[in-house]
Structure 1
Amino acid sequence: MQDISAQELKERLDKGETPYILDVREEWEFEEDNLGGQLIPLATLPAQIGEVKANKDEEVVVHCRSGKRSATAKKILEQNGFTQVRNLEGGILAYREL
C-alpha cells in the first residue's frame, strides 16, 4: 500500500478520522511528542505483533521520528499478513512542520 504524507494524515485527523496509528519510536520519544497512537518500539515489535493483530485487515499508519524505523516496521507488519500498512513519510518531524 502507498505511504501517507504528513499533509494527508493531518487533514484526515482534522476531519475526525481515526486510522490506527502505530508509533515505533522509543518510550522517551513518545513521551516528548506523540500523535496519540499505540506505542510499540521497533525493537520489540516482532515480539509484540499480537498486540496489533486485531488491525491486520485495517489501515495501519506507522510512524517514527523520520520515517526510517517505520519503513522497517511496515515490512515486518506486511511479512505478518497486514495488508494496508502506510508509512508516514518524513515521520513526526514532517508532521510537526505543518
Structure 2
Amino acid sequence: MKEISTIELQSLLEENKELNMVDVREAAEVAEGKIPGAVNIPLGLLEFRMHELNKSKEYVMICRSGGRSAQAAEFLKNQGFKVINMTGGMLAWQGETE
C-alpha cells in the first residue's frame, strides 16, 4: 500500500498541488477539525458512497491514527481505485485544520 506522511502531505498542500483527500472518520470527529479540502466519507459508508469517487484520480485516505484509513485504502484498492494512506492520521497532523 502506498503511504504518505503528514509532513509530506502538508508540503504538497503548501505547494498548491491538487490533491483528492477523503477523511474516513465519523462526522463528530471531523467536526473537531479536518484538513482543508478533505471530503468526509465515514468508513462505514464508504462501500455505499464509493460511486462519488473517480477511478482515474488518486485519493489520500485520512483518519484519526492511520488504521481506518489503511482499511479504507485497502478496500478501495481492491475496487480498482488509486489510493495513498496518510500515516499517523490526524493525531500526527501539524498543519491547518478547518
| TM-score, with length taken from structure 1 | 0.90
Specify the alignment match of 1:47 in structure 2.
48
2:21 matched to 1:21? Answer: yes
Specify the alignment match of 1:88 in structure 2.
86
| TM-score, with length taken from structure 2 | 0.90
The alpha-carbon deviation at position 18 of structure 1 amounts to: 2.3
The alpha-carbon deviation at position 15 of structure 1 amounts to: 1.0
Letter of the structure 2 residue corresponding to residue 65 of structure 1: R
Separation in structure 2 between the aligned mates of residue 26 and residue 96 of structure 1, nearest angstrom = 20
Superposition RMSD on alpha carbons, in Å?
A: 1.6
What are the Cα deviations for residues 17-74 of structure 1, in whole angstroms up to 9, with x where unaligned? 121000000001111110131100001101111011x2x1222100100000000000
5+ residue gaps, structure 1, are none
* Larger proportion of strand: 2
Letter of the structure 2 residue corresponding to residue 24 of structure 1: V
Percent identity reads 40
5+ residue gaps, structure 2, are none
* Larger proportion of helix: 1
